Structure 1
């Protein structure tokens, strides 16, 4: 793939390849991402997974619209983070469609940027949560119909439960015996579906990030302040409770999401409290009382939903998430469902924070 990038892709972006280095960047589950460092510029180059994003033109168009909206906010001092903007091809296109060789796009690289994979203390959670809240606040006046939903029903727990039910019934790869207890546990969570339906019937829809992991917020490596929100591929209309929930789900455990050290996998209350206070403060007058109340449900839903998705992919033969070994998706599923169980245990102490 590196030679394809060097010989075919980079010339389309006007980058001289003779003295240019190309290296893998990040550890995303879906797209292939590279850092390109040339004599005169740096850029992030990404091959979009068109099996997941069947409308790659919509993905890059959405990102460009959001970047332009944030740039306008930044110019009027209403958005204080840096904005990650698309890099156009030499022919002025947002994406490069090479057919069987993939759909590619370029993104600005921000110097001094740094990502982390695990939140180690409450201050990191506070900084990142405030940044994601600030991002949501800046997009709150952008019409939800101005961008395309690139993955319809992406955050739809009832549909994910249905998909798991089908995977369990089919057991096409004879794996159910290794995870029957966990599948039964997920399928027993009927009450949360009823609560979710009640909230969704009344909450306002907003443009949301929909993938608020800690490594999608860039820290400034010089002082570890917030720098930018990245990975806008899944920005679509949705509910704040999902953005907040996914963020806290990703922040709250001291272990990576594929860790098998289950005695250490838990939802740390101090992280949840710091993230909640910072997120609500950043949204200030934007967030409604009902939206604030929904945030606790959002944490539980996102831990359960991701655990369900990993478990379904494991049963289906690992067709969606990139894996490093045969048990990888099962390890991820058990990890996330352990976080969900930890949240349930702490509900009496933490739920009042969101009233």
Structure 2
């Protein structure tokens, strides 16, 4: 926890009216440190202050420019529609006193600030079909509103973020170094990696590279990155650090990874990891309500490939971090990353067993939206 003195120094560089003494740690993110601060002005919006993990996001200036471009684009789209509230439906960056949107303190830490969106909530585990539908609609709309930004305009903040070939390469490097002597204890997990490795390189195949357009996507579509209002209706997509070019199936796959699982992503009891198919159906319906406006046939056919890839990739990342000594993801106990990896591998097995049925659901739903449009 940062001291109030440190927070006060940071806050003094932003154009805000934050009550420094009200600071509270906020959220369950793995990467950045986030604090909620109250507004000293009665009725004024509260604030979120974030310390950016610049070991991961090494170019904070480019990262911040991405977020500015994306939020401004989203707000302009909502304004053009003539309805909706861009201040509620899009995150709003608060400028510093020198006009920038981030501040570097005397310790070399980088900070940014947003208005806090009150009367909202997020869920780590989806509880209802309505929530799943609204999450799908939120991410589908997010992709749709950004679909007219040309590829290459957004800076690649983490190169090869969803390139499984690179992730497997990083795993091989971790195995070769074995800095913490953990490789011998993860043989079963490494066998699973090997079993699926070839099939998971679908998005690197030349035919798919030629057929699938690169678009500006979110790249981290965990369900808790959608804020819902008091009626459990989607209000805002948050955590925009990883917004950059990618395939729409990456976003679809990561959302399914967190929505369809009947328990948390780090469940220790693998028998509890089951597929909630009604939630999948609801998410697909909500997602395609918006995304059907721009998706190509090739992209539709790739969606289930993304749903298989993302739990596999996340498991590989967790396993790599475990072998490296837990240097990337925050952990709550020793072995946490290994437990996360095992849970994701189990989810992958369940998804693989039902992939055909799930793909048909996507095709049927897509056809219904096409029919409605004509």
Q: TM-score range by the shorter chain?
A: over 0.9
Counterpart among 282, 287, 294 of residue 295 in structure 2: 287
Distance (Å, rounded) in 1 between the aligned partners of 2:263 and 2:17? 41
Q: CA deviation at 1:189?
A: 1.5
Preserved CA contact (<8 Å) 1:19 1:39: no
Q: CA deviation at 1:254?
A: 1.6
1:216 corresponds to: 225
Q: Counterpart in 2 of 1:116?
A: 123
- The 8 Å contact of residues 20 and 38 in structure 1, kept in 2 or not, is answered as no
Unaligned ranges ≥5, structure 2: 364-374
Pairs within 5 Å for 1:134-145:
134-145=141-152
Which of 85, 101, 106 matches 2:92?
A: 85
Structure 1 residue 348: deviation in Å? Answer: 3.1
Moved more, 3-12 or 20-29: 3-12
Equivalent residue number for residue 51 of structure 1:
55
Equivalent residue, structure 1, for 2:155? 148
Q: Is the 8 A contact 2:4 2:20 kept in 1?
A: no
CA contact (8 A) 1:130 1:282 kept: yes
Could you list the per-position Cα deviations for residues 88-141 of structure 1 after superposition, in whole angstroms to 9, with x for gaps in the alignment? Answer: 112211100125241000112112111111012222111111111001000001
Aligned residues, how many?
A: 354
Please tell me whether residue 278 in structure 1 is matched to residue 286 in structure 2: yes
Please list, as runs of the form range in 1=range in 2, the aligned pairs for 1:1-355 lying within 5 A after superposition.
1-15=2-16, 20-40=21-41, 41=44, 42-77=46-81, 80=84, 82-198=89-205, 199-220=208-229, 222-355=230-363
In angstroms, what is the RMSD of aligned CA positions?
A: 1.7
**How far, CA to CA, are the matches of 1:77 and 1:17 in structure 2?**
32
Range 271-280 or range 122-131, more displaced: 271-280
Moved more, 269-278 or 233-242: 269-278
Cα contact 1:25–1:35 (8 A) shared by 2 = yes
**Equivalent residue number for residue 369 of structure 2:** none
Q: Which residue in 1 is equivalent to 2:372?
A: none
CA shift digits 1:208-233 (9 cap, x unpaired): 0001111110010x211111011110
Change (3 A) 1:272 1:200: farther
Cα distance in structure 1, aligned partners of 2:352 and 2:8: 53
Runs of 4+ deviating beyond 3 Å: 14-20, 78-81
- C-alpha separation in 1, matches of 2:295 and 2:278: 22
Change (3 A) 1:35 1:263: same
Displacement of 1:354 in angstroms is: 3.4
Change (3 A) 1:225 1:193: closer
What do the CA deviations read for 1:31-76 (whole angstroms, capped 9, x no partner)? 0011111212411110000000000111111111111101110111
Asked if the contact 1:79/1:138 (under 8 Å) is kept, the reply is no
Give the Cα–Cα distance (whole angstroms) in 2 for the partners of residues 168 and 321 of structure 1.
Answer: 18
1:275-316 per-position Cα deviation (integer Å, ceiling 9, x unaligned): 122211211220111101100000100010000000000001
Q: Mean alpha-carbon deviation: is it higher for 155-164 or for 239-248?
A: 155-164
Distance 1:43 1:260, change over 3 A: same
**SS of the residue 2:50 aligns to:** strand
Bigger drift between 35-44 and 326-335 goes to 35-44
TM-score (norm 1): 0.95
Structure 1 residues 144-153 or 8-17, which shifts more? 8-17
Preserved CA contact (<8 Å) 1:87 1:107: yes
For residues 92 and 329 of structure 2, the distance between their equivalents in structure 1, rounded to whole angstroms, comes to 26
**Kept in 1: contact 2:52–2:111 (CA 8 A):** yes
The TM-score with structure 2 as length reference comes to 0.90
Please tell me whether the aligned partners of residues 280 and 292 of structure 1 are also in contact (alpha carbons under 8 angstroms). no
